[in-house]
Amino acid sequence: MSRISQLEPIRVTVGVDTHRDVHVAVALDQLGRRLDQIELATTRAGYERLLAWAERLGVVEAFGVEATGCYGAALARHLRAREMLVVEVMRPNRQTRRRKGKSDPTDAEAAARAVLSAEAAGSPKAGDDLVEMIRLLRVARGTAIKARTQAINALRSLLVTAPPELREQLRALSTSRLVGKAAQLRPGALGSPLAASKLALSHLARRCQTLEVEIRSLDGQLARLTTTASPQLIEAFGVGADTAGALLVAAGDNPDRLRSEAAFSMLCGSSPIKACSGKTNRHRSTEAATAKPTPRSTGSCSSACATTKPPRTTSNGAPARARANARSSAA
């Protein structure tokens, strides 16, 4: 019996385990057989080396990349620019990692197998348009707000232990007036705790003012970008630049990857799929909410029944034990 030669070209699926400085890639063929692995630097030259290596193995079908919103973002953008299919892969679950062990080639191979089996089919965010600009400015704004809050808290805490004459002067002021008043303090020569307190308070207050100017500037830029990116969203009732920016960042520059409202809700962690038990109402009924709790039994079933049964009464309503006590006393 003659053997028919395999004329079908090798179709390659590449999985990439991403890190900050080094990526590890493993290639599989269409039958799931491991072809090769490579380690590359997280540079443009390293990405080109990965592409050349994959194309030498056969016809490249897809790249499964972990952490496309973090360590793998630059690689995903580079591959998309070369018109390669990039699939976002979640890391393997803990049971699989514990059973098969943890290593970079193992994780890269698991990413490739997730793409090959269609378990991973999500498209990563493009990160090359207005929404990426909004995301970057929101990061700067969030850190500025956090730093301003820390400065205000430090200002209040230092005021608690400040000398009495300074504390009585500033303690009753609101936050905005306190920042303005503390910024005008003149400590003079640094020769006493009072002067040191004035110097510290003035520095913290000026930091708050600087951060306030920075936050207002970022708010203006974010309002302009969100209006340009989605004017219909800004026109909706109750939606400002901050809310619109959060929604746009969640959707990304390529919202077509979210095929339905259900896909977007699953991305936000509120999947509309019903529970497997079929129960959709998890709240207790009014009777169950108002009923007294049954005392928990620590003994056997008979003792539990004894604690839940009401005492046996006689015909006139008196407990049977009280009637027995009355008979013994009469005797």
DSSP-derived secondary structure for 131-175: HHHHHHHHHHHHHHHHHHHHHHHHHHHHHHTS-HHHHHHHTTS-H
Contact 50, 40 (CB under 8 A): yes
Residue 251: both structure tokens together:
């959707």
How high is the pLDDT of residue 31?
92
Q: For the chain, how many residues are written?
A: 331
Q: How many helices (H) and strands (E) does the chain have?
A: 14, 5
How high is the pLDDT of residue 301?
42
pTM passes above 0.95 = no
| Residue 194 Cα distances to 70, 138, 158, 167, 205, angstroms | 48, 39, 11, 10, 16
- Beta strand pairing status for 22-28 and 11-17? antiparallel
Query: Which positions ≥6 away from 218 have C-beta within 8 Å?
Result: 137, 140, 141, 144
Contact 187, 198 (CB under 8 A): yes
How high is the pLDDT of residue 299?
45
Per-residue burial over 50-79, b = 16 or more CB atoms within 10 Å of its CB, e = otherwise? bbebbeebbebbbbbbbbbeebbbbbbbbb
Which H/E stretch holds residue 17? strand 11-17
What 8-state DSSP symbol labels residue 256? G
Contact 181, 170 (CB under 8 A): yes
The residue whose two tokens read 């699989």 is 96
How high is the pLDDT of residue 103?
87
How high is the pLDDT of residue 99?
75
Contact 141, 218 (CB under 8 A): yes
Sheet with 59-66: list strands edge to edge: 34-41, 22-28, 11-17, 59-66, 86-89
pLDDT along the chain (331 residues), means of 10: 62 95 96 95 96 95 93 94 93 71 87 91 88 96 97 95 91 93 90 93 96 97 95 91 91 84 74 61 52 50 43 50 56 51
CA distance 52 to 54: 6
**Coil, strand, or helix at residue 64?**
strand
How high is the pLDDT of residue 303?
42
CA distance 158 to 153: 9
DSSP string, 180-227: HHHHT----SS-SHHHHHHHHHHHHHHHHHHHHHHHHHHHHHHHHHHH
**Long-range contacts of the stretch 309-312 (C-beta < 8 A, 24+):** none
Phi, psi of 144 (to 5 degrees): -65, -40
What 8-state DSSP symbol labels residue 317? S
CA distance 181 to 184: 5
How high is the pLDDT of residue 315?
47
CA distance 32 to 110: 11
